Chains A and B, each alone.
Chain A
C-alpha cells in the first residue's frame, strides 16, 4: 500500500515507530498520530461500515465529532466499542478492529440493505415491521438488531481502575485554542486560580491544526509560549485529555480525564480515567466551532471529509487525504484549504465555490464558481465528482465546507436555547450571565483577531485586561449551502444513523415537522455523536421544507454528555467490594465460628441459619426452632436499631413519636411501641426501655433504623424544638443477643455476677442494668419475639463475641444451639408477630390488630390522619392467620386470597399472604395474610391463589397466633 505520509511537516515524531494492528493487519505509525491519521498514512481509508446500509465509511473529521471511523479498541476486558479513531492517540501495540460488518469490512453482506433502501426510509421501523404483530419480537427485532448495530461490549471485567476527584477554581477555561489561551492568560495574570481543560492530547486547539500567524510567529509557536507561561504559574492547572462533558447546577462541570487511554496499559497505581467534578466560580467556554458537511450525493464515500479536517491531517499529522483533491464549499475557508494543501504539495484539482460572486483569491487554483458538487463517485474510495454544471473531475478526495457551527452544547445544558444568526449562518449561544460566558468562535467570532480579543476580554471579565497580540486574519464570507438537490445518490445528513437529506422533507410531509419529532422519526442526531455534524443541516432542510425560519424550527435539546462517557468513569472506584460498605455485627466472628450462613439485609450481614452436616436451610432452621422451643437457643439481634434517648423531656418526646405512651412507663420496664407516619400509616415498631427517670433506650427495626433516626431529628428540631431531649444512635455500640426457650433463664443465670433471676427480680418486660462475667456492664431485657420465655442481653460491642461464647458454654448442658433469621421468622409467624411483610407502608395500627394501642389522650405524629374514615373502615384488609385446609398442602407468600367459590381473578381479590413458614411445631405450612375485614372472618375457607406460579389450594382464615394461643410459654 502506498504511503500517504507527507515528506515533511507535522507535529509527529518521525524517528518513532509505533506498531499497531487494524483488523489484524500490522501497520507502523508515529508518535503524535491518532489512529485515524496513522491509518490514513498507511493508505487505509475504509474504517467502518454504516449503521443501517452498511456503506463503506472512512474518516470525515479530525476530532470529537467523528461519526464514521468508530472502532473497537483494545481486547479482552479492556475492549471498548465505538471509540473514535480520530480521538485515539496512537501507542505501540495498539489493537483495533472495525465493527458492524460481516463477514469482513471489505466484503459486507449487510450492504445489500443499501439496495433495499426503499424499505429503510424515515420511520421504517414503524412502517415495515408492524405486521404481523407476533413477528416483531421473535423475527424482525433480532434481525434488525444484528444487521444494524455498532460495536459489541466486552463481557469480561475491566481490569483497570477509575477514580473520582473534585476541583475548585476561580475560572475554568474550556478549550485551549487561541481564545482559550487568551482567556486563561488574562485570568491567570490577575492571580486567579485557573483550570484550563482541553479534550485534545495536546494543548493548543486549532493552533495545532492550522497555519496562522500571531505576534510575528507561527500560531503554533505562539501557543507554546503562552502554554509555557501558564504552566509556570502556581495557580494554573493545565488539563489536557480532559473533556468537559456537562454543565450542571451551581456552576459545576463534569469532566473526564483520559489519564491512561494513550497507553497500552495504565502505569502502576494510575487509573485509566478520572472523573472530575469541577466547581468553578466562573467559566469561559472556548470550544470553537464545528465545520458542517454539505449534503451531496455520496458525501459519505471514504475520501470525502471536512475541509478543516483535511487541513488538520496535512498540517498537524503530515498526512494527505488523497493525491488529488477537489475543494467544495460556500464560504471563504475553502481558499485557505486549497492554499494549505498546495503548501504541502497536495494537488488541488479545483475549488468548487457555490457562490457566483465569490471574491476570495484562489491563489492560482482553478476555481469553478456558481456550481456545486452534485455527487461524489466511488465505492470504497472517491474516484471523481460530478458537478451541477455537468462537469466531471477525477480526484481522490473531496474537502467540503458548508459553514461553521459554534460548539454551544455546554452553554445549553441548563435549558437555554441557542439563537440563529442569519449573517453568520450559525446558532449562537444563549446568555447565561457572568458565571458562564462563551468566547471566540464558539460565540460566533469568525476571525482570529476577534477570537484573541474576545478571549482576553472574557478571561479578564472586567478585571485588569491584557492586550491581544496582532495576527493575520483569514477571509470569512459565507452563503447558505445545505443540500445539493441535484444529487442522484444518497446525500447523508446524519452519517452515523444513515439519515439522508430526503428523510427530513418526508418526515415533515408525514406530520413530524417539529424538530424533536423529526429527530426521532428520522433518527437524525440520535447516535453516539448526537448530531454534532448533521443537526444544523437537518434544521435548515426542515426549515425549507416547511417554510419556516431556522429560529422557528429551533434546535433539539442539548443534554449532557458532550461526548460519550464510559461507565467505568461514572462508577469510579465504587465497584465490587467497594460498591457499598458491609456492616458486620459485633457477633459476626462468633456466628462464623458457629458455621453461620449469612444473608445480606441492607448493608448488614445477618446469620441466616447454622447448618449441621448436610442440612439444607429448612432442615437447619426447623432444628433450630425445635431446640429453642424445647430447651434454649441464642440469636444475634444486634442489627436492630438502638437509640439512646436522654433528658428531662425524653418521655414526652417518645410520646410524640409513638402512638402509645412512654412517659408513664416505669423505670426498669420495657414496652412495645408503634410509630406512625404523619399520614396515619404505621412506620416502625420496637421495644423501648426506661433505664432511669430521664433515660430511655429505643429499638427500631433493622430496615428502618437510619430513617427513624432522621425522623426523630426532624421531629425534634423542626416540630418540637422546645423539648429538652438529646438522643444518639448506639446501634454499633451494643451487641445484643436473644436467649430464648424454657432453659434460657437457667443458662443466663450462670453469667450474672449478682442478680438472682426469678419472676420477681426479672418479670416479663423487665429492663435491667446488670453486670456479667465479673464486671462487664450489660443490659438484660425480658422480651420475647419467639413467644418463649426469653431474654435479650446487650453488652458493649467489643464484649459481644465473648458473651455469646459464654452463653453457648452455659447452655451446653441444655443442648443450646444458635438460631438465625430463618428460625426467628418461623417462630414469629407461628406466634403471629408482625414484621416487614405486614409493616409495609400501607397498614394502620387497626389493620395490625393494635388499634387499642393508639392513644386518644395526647398529640403524636399521625394521630389526626389515622382517624380518617378510610383508615378506620372495617372492610380494610387486616392481619389474619392462614393455614391450608389439607395440612399436606403448601401455601406461598404473595398468593392472593379469594372467596371459596369465586373465579380466580384480581377483580375478586380479598387480600394476600404476607409471609409463610413451615412450622416444625405444627408440622404444616402456616402464614400471615392481609384479608378484607379479616378479624370477623376467622374460620372462613378461602382459595389461596398463586397465579404467578399457577398454584391454587384451599386455606382457612384463622387467628394470627398459630401456636401457644394462651401465651403460656412466655411466662413458663
Chain B
C-alpha cells in the first residue's frame, strides 16, 4: 500500500502511523452546554463502508500529520493532504454553512 505524502512523494504505508477518522472537529468552546459535542468528538466515530478521511502521521518520514483518503472496502488510496490543509478546508466549509 502506498501513500502519496505531499512532502515526500509516494511512500510505503509502513512509514505511517494511522490515528483514525479525521471527520470529527474539536469543539471550540469549553462551555458546559457543549459537553455533548465534546463527547461526540472524543468517542463517536462512524464506520463507513467506502470512502473515509483518516489522520496518518508520517512518523517514519517528514513527521507531518496527513489526512489520507481511502476506501475501507478496497483499501484503495485516493490521495493525501496535510492535516493543516484539511483543517483550513474544514473551517472554510463550516464558515460557508454558517453563512
B83 in the interface, Cβ–Cβ < 8 Å?
yes
Q: Looking at the complex, which one of B32, B38, B65, B75 makes contact with A250 (CB distance below 8 Å)?
A: B75
Q: Is B64 a contact partner of A717 (Cβ separation < 8 A)?
A: yes
B84 in the interface, Cβ–Cβ < 8 Å?
yes
Among A621-629, A691-699, A857-865, A945-953, the stretch that binds chain B is A857-865
Q: Is B83 a contact partner of A250 (Cβ separation < 8 A)?
A: no
Interface footprint category on A:
20 to 34
Q: Is A719 a contact partner of B26 (Cβ separation < 8 A)?
A: yes
Please, how many angstroms separate the alpha-carbon atoms of A279 and B1 in the complex? Answer: 8
Please, how many angstroms separate the alpha-carbon atoms of A273 and B5 in the complex? Answer: 32
Taking CB atoms, residues of chain B closer than 8 Å to A422 are: none
Q: Is A717 a contact partner of B59 (Cβ separation < 8 A)?
A: no
Residue of A nearest to B85 (CB): A721
The B64-86 residues at the A interface (CB cut-off 8 A) are 64-65, 75-77, 82-84, 86
Taking CB atoms, residues of chain A closer than 8 Å to B17 are: 710
B8 in the interface, Cβ–Cβ < 8 Å?
no
Please, how many angstroms separate the alpha-carbon atoms of A252 and B13 in the complex? Answer: 11
Interface footprint category on B:
20 to 34
Q: Is A863 a contact partner of B84 (Cβ separation < 8 A)?
A: no
B25 to nearest A CB, angstroms? 9
Please, how many angstroms separate the alpha-carbon atoms of A721 and B27 in the complex? Answer: 15
Q: Is B30 a contact partner of A718 (Cβ separation < 8 A)?
A: no
Q: Is A718 a contact partner of B1 (Cβ separation < 8 A)?
A: no
A780 to nearest B CB, angstroms? 31
Main secondary structure of the interface of A (DSSP, over half): mixed
Taking CB atoms, residues of chain B closer than 8 Å to A714 are: 19, 55, 57, 65, 83
Q: Is A250 a contact partner of B77 (Cβ separation < 8 A)?
A: yes
Please, how many angstroms separate the alpha-carbon atoms of A368 and B19 in the complex? Answer: 68
Taking CB atoms, residues of chain B closer than 8 Å to A678 are: 26, 41-42
B17 to nearest A CB, angstroms? 7
Residue of B nearest to A248 (CB): B1
A679 in the interface, Cβ–Cβ < 8 Å?
yes
Q: Is A710 a contact partner of B55 (Cβ separation < 8 A)?
A: no
Q: Is B63 a contact partner of A713 (Cβ separation < 8 A)?
A: yes
Cβ contacts A268-280/B at 8 Å (1 or 0 each): 0000000000010
Taking CB atoms, residues of chain A closer than 8 Å to B92 are: none
Residue of B nearest to A714 (CB): B65
A249 in the interface, Cβ–Cβ < 8 Å?
yes
Q: Is B1 a contact partner of A713 (Cβ separation < 8 A)?
A: no
Residue of B nearest to A859 (CB): B30
The A837-868 residues at the B interface (CB cut-off 8 A) are 859, 863-865, 867-868
B35 in the interface, Cβ–Cβ < 8 Å?
yes
Q: Is B1 a contact partner of A252 (Cβ separation < 8 A)?
A: yes
Taking CB atoms, residues of chain A closer than 8 Å to B13 are: 250
Cβ contacts A703-732/B at 8 Å (1 or 0 each): 000000010011001110100000000000
B44 in the interface, Cβ–Cβ < 8 Å?
no
Q: Which interface residue of B17, B32, B83 has the most chain A CB atoms within 10 A?
A: B83
Taking CB atoms, residues of chain B closer than 8 Å to A718 are: 22, 55, 65, 83-84, 86-87
A652 to nearest B CB, angstroms? 15
Q: Is A717 a contact partner of B82 (Cβ separation < 8 A)?
A: yes
Q: Is B30 a contact partner of A713 (Cβ separation < 8 A)?
A: no
- Asked whether A721 and B84 contact (CB < 8 A) given A714-B19, A864-B35, A865-B42, the answer is yes
Taking CB atoms, residues of chain A closer than 8 Å to B46 are: none
B98 in the interface, Cβ–Cβ < 8 Å?
no
Please, how many angstroms separate the alpha-carbon atoms of A249 and B68 in the complex? Answer: 15
- Asked whether A721 and B2 contact (CB < 8 A) given A714-B55, A714-B65, A864-B30, the answer is no
Cβ contacts A164-180/B at 8 Å (1 or 0 each): 00100000000000000
Q: Is A249 a contact partner of B75 (Cβ separation < 8 A)?
A: yes
Residue of A nearest to B39 (CB): A865
Main secondary structure of the interface of B (DSSP, over half): mixed
Q: Is B63 a contact partner of A721 (Cβ separation < 8 A)?
A: no
B88 in the interface, Cβ–Cβ < 8 Å?
yes
Taking CB atoms, residues of chain A closer than 8 Å to B38 are: 864-865
Please, how many angstroms separate the alpha-carbon atoms of A863 and B35 in the complex? Answer: 11
Taking CB atoms, residues of chain A closer than 8 Å to B1 are: 248-250, 252
Please, how many angstroms separate the alpha-carbon atoms of A279 and B41 in the complex? Answer: 37
Q: Is B75 a contact partner of A717 (Cβ separation < 8 A)?
A: no
Please, how many angstroms separate the alpha-carbon atoms of A352 and B41 in the complex? Answer: 72
A860 to nearest B CB, angstroms? 9
Taking CB atoms, residues of chain B closer than 8 Å to A250 are: 1-2, 13, 75-77
Q: Looking at the complex, which one of B34, B75, B86 makes contact with A864 (CB distance below 8 Å)?
A: B34
B78 to nearest A CB, angstroms? 12
Residue of B nearest to A863 (CB): B30
- Asked whether A713 and B57 contact (CB < 8 A) given A250-B2, A718-B84, A865-B42, the answer is yes
Cβ contacts B1-43/A at 8 Å (1 or 0 each): 1100000000011000101001000110010101100110111
- Asked whether A721 and B59 contact (CB < 8 A) given A249-B75, A250-B1, A864-B35, the answer is no
Residue of B nearest to A433 (CB): B74
Please, how many angstroms separate the alpha-carbon atoms of A248 and B41 in the complex? Answer: 33
Q: Is B87 a contact partner of A721 (Cβ separation < 8 A)?
A: yes
Taking CB atoms, residues of chain A closer than 8 Å to B35 are: 864, 868
- Asked whether A717 and B42 contact (CB < 8 A) given A250-B1, A252-B1, A864-B35, the answer is no
Taking CB atoms, residues of chain B closer than 8 Å to A864 are: 27, 30, 34-35, 38
Please, how many angstroms separate the alpha-carbon atoms of A279 and B87 in the complex? Answer: 32
Taking CB atoms, residues of chain B closer than 8 Å to A248 are: 1
Q: Which interface residue of A678, A679, A718 has the most chain B CB atoms within 10 A?
A: A718
B84 to nearest A CB, angstroms? 5
B97 to nearest A CB, angstroms? 20
Please, how many angstroms separate the alpha-carbon atoms of A696 and B63 in the complex? Answer: 21
Q: Looking at the complex, which one of B2, B39, B76 makes contact with A279 (CB distance below 8 Å)?
A: B2
The A576-597 residues at the B interface (CB cut-off 8 A) are none
Please, how many angstroms separate the alpha-carbon atoms of A721 and B26 in the complex? Answer: 13
Taking CB atoms, residues of chain B closer than 8 Å to A868 are: 35
Please, how many angstroms separate the alpha-carbon atoms of A721 and B75 in the complex? Answer: 29
Q: Is B42 a contact partner of A721 (Cβ separation < 8 A)?
A: no
Taking CB atoms, residues of chain A closer than 8 Å to B19 are: 714
Q: Is B2 a contact partner of A717 (Cβ separation < 8 A)?
A: no
- Ranked nearest first, the 6 interchain pairs of A and B with the lowest CB-CB distance are A250-B1, A718-B83, A249-B75, A864-B38, A717-B65, A721-B84
Binding site for A on B (CB under 8 A): 1-2, 12-13, 17, 19, 22, 26-27, 30, 32, 34-35, 38-39, 41-43, 55, 57, 59, 63-65, 75-77, 82-84, 86-88
Known: A717-B82, A721-B87. 5 other contacts (CB 8 A): A249-B75, A714-B57, A717-B65, A718-B22, A718-B84
- Residue contacts A-B, CB under 8 angstroms, 13 given: A166-B12, A249-B75, A250-B75, A714-B65, A717-B82, A718-B65, A718-B83, A718-B84, A721-B84, A864-B34, A864-B35, A865-B42, A867-B32
